[in-house]
Structure 1
Amino acid sequence: MNILRLLDKLSNDKFFTKEASRLETITDISLFGKKAAIAAVPLGLGSLMATTKAETTKMNVTGAALKSTLTDALQLALVLEYLENEYYSIGLSTPALIPNADRAVFMQISKHESAHVNFLKSTLTSLGTTPGAKPTFDFTASGNFSPFTDYSQFLVLAQAFEDTGVRAYKGQAGNVMSNKVVLQAALQIHSVEARHASQVRRMRANKGWIELANGGNMPSATNPVYAGEENINQAGYNTSTLFGAAAGSAAYDEILSGSDAQTIASLFIV
């Protein structure tokens, strides 16, 4: 609608007659005013305003989506850290479970996990998102494990949790890239989780790395933790070419998707 048509409408007596209700008249005037204001703007500038508004709307939607992706990734990480933190806390408080020679290791790992929980909760809060509440955990996985009465099983689950954490953090890297500060912290946590995993694996007389999909003397219930680790194709390159499939797969740690990480964690959540 151009300015001439608007002026023509303004000269129409019916526009202000009693044929329309007061509410309708006010509505018409309001709409007329908006259209008149737009029509009075030069054509090029009007188009620019419309484009800018569309771009702003798009940016707002994109920003909200990025924030949701970021906070969802942090909430997942928080669940995994809650799990590890409580696991080590119970283990350390269980009399005669952890040998004295190993207590210092798990005391330090426990401190790390506690720090990770506090960081994630603080970060979510700073992003305007309420941190998820700590779930109720069942570390027996419905009676399949006895980690607090059998130290060997305690080590098995410790390895499974740490190996899960390493792959899960790697899998969420792309979802936290929108916030460089969070990305840096997540990468720092990831490397610490990898050190935990390597340490616990060696405490079980395993290699510090994963070869193929073999966790190393692990029960079949933990197979989902290692599924996909047998991959020997990286960006089109066959990693088994030089030293074989085991060494080739071990040279590249695989990611764990968010849904797979949630599935693994859910086995221990009531």
Structure 2
Amino acid sequence: MDIFKILDDFQKIDGDAAGRLQYATRRHFMNRVGSKVASVAIPSIFATVVNKAFAQSAAAVDVLNYALTLEYLEDEFYKAGNAAANLIPATDKVIFTTIGKHETAHVAFLVKALGTAAIKKPTFDLTYGGGFADVLTNYKTFVAVSAALEDTGVRAYKGQAGALIADPQILEYALQVHSVEARHAAVARRLFATVNASPATKGWITGKQALVAAVQPIYDGEDNMTQGGVNIKGLASKSDAAVSEAFDEPLTKAAVLAIAGPFIKA
């Protein structure tokens, strides 16, 4: 979820970041190692390069640890859900098993990149301070929290491409990661629509429509009607809802941490 955001923040911290990471793209490694080895080695090799390039940057370490905190949360959430007895129906198990593997890989990437600077895994409260008390016993609640977490991640990606335009290879790598996270969100939202009998919920966000009231901050601002300085309200005679669906708005680091706060005990 956070690799695209990390690269963008690196660019803000160090204007040469993209250039120094140019050789660390997926295409580069695929061209230099056999495909069987590459499928296993790329995350580890890329993380090692990041660690070497930014080991002396306190700001970069801070960004990576922020990302690691969020990845720890998602990894913990899916591990707990997949391990819970009689929670996930057999028909949906493969979905959450796959998403869980992706989040575990993200944690491994960030821990490797940070090395000894990596923060320890926090203690989490997956009930969100009691707001989702039955998250590991009620499948409807579990799916709602999954979709909310994934929607948060997707919004964190948006609006960041500009910083990587000058380095198309890294932009390509980031967008590959982003597309996977967006598919997580789409699947989780469609499952939410099915299990909660909510036909108004689509695979994408409409306006600032929240899945459940407790997570409204995740969706605030998504009803923005001005893009690129142009007010597109009523564009091509479409409804405001339809226009809002065409764009996702970014979430700031502060907003994401505020949203995640109730999940983190210490």
Q: TM-score, normalised by structure 2?
A: 0.69
- Per the TM alignment, residue 133 of structure 1 is displaced from its structure 2 partner at its CA by 1.6
**CA separation of 1:130 and 1:187: change in aligned 2, threshold 3 A:** farther
- Per the TM alignment, residue 249 of structure 1 is displaced from its structure 2 partner at its CA by 1.1
- 1:78 maps to what in 2? 68
- Per the TM alignment, residue 139 of structure 1 is displaced from its structure 2 partner at its CA by 0.8
Tell me, yes or no, if structure 1 residue 200 matches structure 2 residue 188: yes
- Per the TM alignment, residue 135 of structure 1 is displaced from its structure 2 partner at its CA by 1.1
How far apart, CA to CA, are the structure 1 residues paired with 2:150 and 2:184?
A: 6
**CA separation of 1:74 and 1:174: change in aligned 2, threshold 3 A:** farther
Tell me, yes or no, if structure 1 residue 255 matches structure 2 residue 243: no
Equivalent residue pairs, number: 205
Q: Determine if contact 2:64/2:114 at 8 Å carries over to the other structure.
A: yes
Tell me, yes or no, if structure 1 residue 139 matches structure 2 residue 132: no
Any residues of structure 2 matched to 1:1-270 within 5 Å, and which?
67-125=57-115, 130-145=117-132, 146-170=134-158, 185-205=173-193, 206-215=201-210, 218-240=211-233, 241-242=235-236, 243-270=238-265
- 1:12 maps to what in 2? none
Counterpart residue type for residue 151 of structure 1: Y
**CA separation of 1:173 and 1:235: change in aligned 2, threshold 3 A:** closer
Structure number with higher relative contact order (C-alpha < 8 Å, ≥ 6 residues apart): 2
How far apart, CA to CA, are the structure 1 residues paired with 2:66 and 2:159?
A: 11
Counterpart residue type for residue 227 of structure 1: D
How far apart, CA to CA, are the structure 2 residues paired with 1:144 and 1:69?
A: 33
Residue identity (%) = 45
Q: Determine if contact 1:239/1:249 at 8 Å carries over to the other structure.
A: no
Counterpart residue type for residue 136 of structure 2: F
Counterpart residue type for residue 132 of structure 1: I
Q: Determine if contact 1:136/1:269 at 8 Å carries over to the other structure.
A: yes
How far apart, CA to CA, are the structure 2 residues paired with 1:68 and 1:182?
A: 22
Q: Determine if contact 1:91/1:148 at 8 Å carries over to the other structure.
A: yes
How far apart, CA to CA, are the structure 2 residues paired with 1:97 and 1:80?
A: 23
Counterpart residue type for residue 267 of structure 1: P
How far apart, CA to CA, are the structure 1 residues paired with 2:162 and 2:262?
A: 25
- Per the TM alignment, residue 247 of structure 1 is displaced from its structure 2 partner at its CA by 1.4
Q: Determine if contact 2:61/2:117 at 8 Å carries over to the other structure.
A: no
- Per the TM alignment, residue 195 of structure 1 is displaced from its structure 2 partner at its CA by 0.6
User: Which sections of structure 2, spanning at least 5 residues, go unmatched?
Assistant: 1-12, 17-53, 194-200
How far apart, CA to CA, are the structure 2 residues paired with 1:264 and 1:179?
A: 32
Larger Rg: 1
How far apart, CA to CA, are the structure 2 residues paired with 1:170 and 1:80?
A: 17
How far apart, CA to CA, are the structure 2 residues paired with 1:164 and 1:213?
A: 13
Offset from partner CA, 1:30-73 (integer Å, 9 cap, x none):
xxxxxxxxxxxxxxxxxxxxxxxxxxxxxx99889x94444433
Instruction: Judge which range, 93-102 or 189-198, deviates more.
Output: 189-198
- 1:30 maps to what in 2? none
Counterpart residue type for residue 249 of structure 2: E
Task: Say what the alpha-carbon RMSD is for the aligned residues.
Answer: 2.8
How far apart, CA to CA, are the structure 1 residues paired with 2:225 and 2:186?
A: 21
Q: TM-score, normalised by structure 1?
A: 0.68
- Per the TM alignment, residue 194 of structure 1 is displaced from its structure 2 partner at its CA by 0.8
Q: SS of 1:80's equivalent?
A: helix
**CA separation of 1:236 and 1:62: change in aligned 2, threshold 3 A:** closer
